[in-house]
Structure 1
Amino acid sequence: MSQTGSLTNWQIFFLMTQTQVGFAILTLPNTLQSTSKGDGWMSVLLAGVALQMFLVIIWLLLRRFPNLNYAEITKFLLGKYVGNFVNMIMYLYFIVTASFVLLRFASIIKEHLLTITPYWVIGLLMMLTCTYLAISDIRIIARFFGLISILFLFLFGISFFSFLLPLDLHHILPLGNTGIKEIAIGSKDCLLAILGFEVILFLYPLASKKGTTFLKVITWANVFVTGLTTYFVILCIMIFSESVLKQIKYPVIYFLRPLNFQMVDRIDLLFISIWIVPLAASIVIYIYMSSKSLSFFKGKPYRLVLMNSTLIFVLFTIAKKDPDSQELYSNFVEYLSYAVVFAIPCILLLFSYLVKKREKEVSY
């Protein structure tokens, strides 16, 4: 797992994109109706630009410590005790985020596919599958992610059937009608919807090509995810009116429901079945990152993965029993992401310049 030069550029690209493409894209067109409305696609593009700025900041930090991952950088810069405390915050974030993704995944499957199957059965089956893959070496995970990325072509192909429906271009016109302030507020929701890019914090030491090449790879991954998200947001806005989008929780799923063909029925169910794979990929990589965050753990790696998976499933079952707490759970994940994904890397980069520390000072 710690071998350097073991991940190719394509593998890093697929790891990043598969982690980012999750359940949030399914609900994003609905979420944006409370802020940027018909200009929601502009909020997505603005979020993509903001995300690129954070990617550059993260890249500048990782470049100063080319053979250390996120958890090792914190200990090197902040010391053993403070570093381990920060790593525990990161560990909590990855565990809670994974359980939140699992919660949303079970809700989608329960609502659209397995309506009479208990939530805990759906969650358990998903966790068993994800744990089996998360125990593997990161190179095996990367190869699997690269293999399943071909499913994006099927998702695009299925979405093209929506052009058979009435599309109203006036739903996105006039451009900028909601105002710059609302578009900027909507970009915050978009930024949270494409979280998952933090995986690069643990991939840089394993990259076969570092430096500007690594930056180009993660930049193209950001362009791909931003473009994919913008495409689905525009599609949903053109198909549904503003009043309808406010009522549909998963518009990316529902826009295919009216389509019926002689040999294929319920294309929306086929779409969901394919989308399950990116959701599972997100959980796998969050289990992996949570395991790498506890750098002080001295046991066998698979035991740590099993412990993390069990903790994720326990949190999932607790949150599912109390529907009122799910909104609080979502807010907790949001605010914790601000600290772990955005604030801590910026602070670490600034601190590394202030104390003038680089990896070359580390003794091996």
Structure 2
Amino acid sequence: MKDKMTISTLQLAMLICTFLAISSQASLPMALAGSAKQDAWFSYFIPILYGCGAGMFFYKLAHKFPGLNMYEITNSVCGKFVGGLLNALFILYFIVDLSAQTRLFSDFFSSSILLRTPPELIIMMITLLIIYYSSGTMEHLARTNVIFILSYSIILLFLPIILLNEIDLNKLEPVLSSGFIPPLKSSILAAAAFGDVLAIGAFLHHVKGPRDIYMAMKLGVMVSSFLLTVWNFCLISVVSPVFVSRLIFTGWILVQQIHVTDFLDRVDLMVFSLFMPLILIKHAVLFIAILTGLASYTKKGRNFGNLMVGLLIMLFSIAAFDNTNEVIMFNNYGMIPLTLLVHIVFFGCLSVGISISKWTGRTKTSPGVNIGLFGGLARAMLVGCGASIAFGAYFGSKLGWYGTVSAGLFIMFLLLCMYFTFRQYGETILNKG
């Protein structure tokens, strides 16, 4: 995949934010609230650890194999036969993921916005738009994404203020009174939803340096987790954990509660005018990752066969699921074993292959990431987030105000972690300049 397209650190971070935050707002809160009840908004601590770990792994791959993407690195480390099998597994995983998400959001649109439009027609239109977007370049897609995701993120950040009259903090209590298990279950579900971030590995060759990849992954994961924490906090405190755990597309109800003035009470139209393009951008990125993997076999370029692959995804989205409940259960729970399998195979095989190569002297050891002062402070604040959850889970069942204190500490540490992560990003940009 030798091309001259480049994606900046900020563009890749915002692309990761779209990849992780947007698709997790539709049906995932239902599963999180069902597992952790009022503590569902604590679910994104473990996903942060997973995302930063994946970023470190991509950093090491990019340092050892500069200018190559994930598929080419797999072939280089594991050989053509084993590497070809691994790449086929990745492509199949991305096809299943894209098909399930296409069906999920087609059902969402048909049940909330386009009420009289058949889901099959919506799936066809989404597929055609994905095929059209994929005919362009990743650079153009990343630039377009920055505009939409920044606008959408601003709206999400102001949600607690906009919904101030609707928020009832009593719905969040008792905080962490059920112990460690419920937040742990919901964190596993949230981490599994972050699993398709592996598709970013198909674009490692578009980023200038390994440190840029790590910083983009860390920043994107932190912003995504923070936005999703705010989103779930508003859902639980406005709609209540009982309704969130029983309703399918609770986010639609939440956005409909926004009434800025009597003249601006349909804010949901503006929100979903930003939401829909971001969904299409994520689907297009997954689609391009599939085409990039197929190009590692055909050697005929990324756009070869995109129409046939699009038709395959469209047919699979229509035929694989009978109703909305099936696709929601698959997205929330069925993807967990598949994601776990792909991750074990991916990280395991590449780690073994790189270790063997290092033992035979064919590769050099990559240096550690120079995290700097702000990176170290961000890690310390992340430890504080984990300690806050542990403190509340252990003592919250004994005295209720312990859980309330731990929730306040968690919010404080998470905000500080976001601040120091942005300072680390700014320090990285200055050092490059």
Task: State if a TM-score over 0.5 links the two structures.
Answer: yes
Aligned residues: 360
- In structure 2, distance between residues paired with 1:2 and 1:19: 24
Paired residue for 2:356? 354
- In structure 2, distance between residues paired with 1:204 and 1:275: 26
Q: Residue 197 and residue 7 in structure 1: after superposition, are their counterparts in 2 closer, same or farther (change >3 A)?
A: same
Paired residue for 1:340? 342
Asked if the contact 1:14–1:145 (Cα under 8 Å) also holds between the matched residues in 2, the reply is yes
Paired residue for 2:37? 37
Paired residue for 2:20? 20
Task: Provide, for residues 265-286 of structure 1, a one-character-per-residue CA deviation record: whole Å limited to 9, x for no partner.
Answer: 4433443332112211111001
- In structure 1, distance between residues paired with 2:352 and 2:50: 19
Q: What one-letter code is carried by the residue in structure 2 that aligns with 1:98?
A: L
Paired residue for 2:410? none
Paired residue for 1:248? 247
Matched residue SS, 2:275:
helix
Paired residue for 1:218? 217
Paired residue for 1:193? 193
How many angstroms does 1:293 deviate by? 1.2
1:38-117 equivalence runs, <5 A: 38-117=38-117
Taking only the aligned residue pairs, the percentage that are identical comes to 19
- In structure 1, distance between residues paired with 2:309 and 2:361: 32
- In structure 2, distance between residues paired with 1:300 and 1:67: 16
Structure 2 spans left out of the alignment, 5+ residues: 365-433
- TM-score, normalising length: structure 2: 0.76
Matched residue SS, 1:165:
coil
- In structure 1, distance between residues paired with 2:158 and 2:269: 11
Task: Provide, for residues 31-73 of structure 1, a one-character-per-residue CA deviation record: whole Å limited to 9, x for no partner.
Answer: 1122222221222123222332232233223322122211111
Matched residue SS, 1:3:
coil
Q: What one-letter code is carried by the residue in structure 2 that aligns with 1:348?
A: L
1:125-140 equivalence runs, <5 A: 125-140=125-140
How many angstroms does 1:332 deviate by? 4.7
Asked if the contact 1:2–1:206 (Cα under 8 Å) also holds between the matched residues in 2, the reply is no
Paired residue for 1:204? 204
Asked if the contact 2:171–2:237 (Cα under 8 Å) also holds between the matched residues in 1, the reply is yes
Task: Provide, for residues 109-132 of structure 1, a one-character-per-residue CA deviation record: whole Å limited to 9, x for no partner.
Answer: 101111110111111111111211
Higher mean C-alpha displacement, 154-163 vs 123-132: 154-163
- In structure 1, distance between residues paired with 2:269 and 2:122: 16
Q: Residue 300 and residue 324 in structure 1: after superposition, are their counterparts in 2 closer, same or farther (change >3 A)?
A: same
Verify: 1:288 aligned to 2:288, yes or no. yes
- In structure 1, distance between residues paired with 2:361 and 2:163: 53
Q: Residue 194 and residue 273 in structure 1: after superposition, are their counterparts in 2 closer, same or farther (change >3 A)?
A: farther
How many angstroms does 1:91 deviate by? 0.7
How many angstroms does 1:102 deviate by? 0.7
How many angstroms does 1:337 deviate by? 1.9
How many angstroms does 1:248 deviate by? 1.9
Verify: 1:7 aligned to 2:7, yes or no. yes
Asked if the contact 1:45–1:230 (Cα under 8 Å) also holds between the matched residues in 2, the reply is no
- In structure 1, distance between residues paired with 2:325 and 2:265: 35
Paired residue for 1:303? 304
Asked if the contact 1:18–1:278 (Cα under 8 Å) also holds between the matched residues in 2, the reply is yes
Asked if the contact 2:291–2:303 (Cα under 8 Å) also holds between the matched residues in 1, the reply is no
Asked if the contact 2:202–2:293 (Cα under 8 Å) also holds between the matched residues in 1, the reply is no
- In structure 2, distance between residues paired with 1:101 and 1:286: 10
Q: Residue 13 and residue 328 in structure 1: after superposition, are their counterparts in 2 closer, same or farther (change >3 A)?
A: closer
Q: Residue 212 and residue 110 in structure 1: after superposition, are their counterparts in 2 closer, same or farther (change >3 A)?
A: same
Q: Residue 183 and residue 243 in structure 1: after superposition, are their counterparts in 2 closer, same or farther (change >3 A)?
A: same
Asked if the contact 1:58–1:346 (Cα under 8 Å) also holds between the matched residues in 2, the reply is no
Task: Provide, for residues 90-143 of structure 1, a one-character-per-residue CA deviation record: whole Å limited to 9, x for no partner.
Answer: 111111111111111101110111111011111111111121111112222222
Q: Residue 21 and residue 157 in structure 1: after superposition, are their counterparts in 2 closer, same or farther (change >3 A)?
A: closer
Higher mean C-alpha displacement, 283-292 vs 30-39: 30-39
- In structure 1, distance between residues paired with 2:6 and 2:51: 26
- TM-score, normalising length: structure 1: 0.89
Q: Give the root-mean-square deviation of aligned CA atoms.
A: 2.5
Q: What one-letter code is carried by the residue in structure 1 that aligns with 2:336?
A: E
Asked if the contact 1:25–1:193 (Cα under 8 Å) also holds between the matched residues in 2, the reply is no
Q: Residue 123 and residue 234 in structure 1: after superposition, are their counterparts in 2 closer, same or farther (change >3 A)?
A: same
How many angstroms does 1:359 deviate by? 7.7
How many angstroms does 1:258 deviate by? 3.7
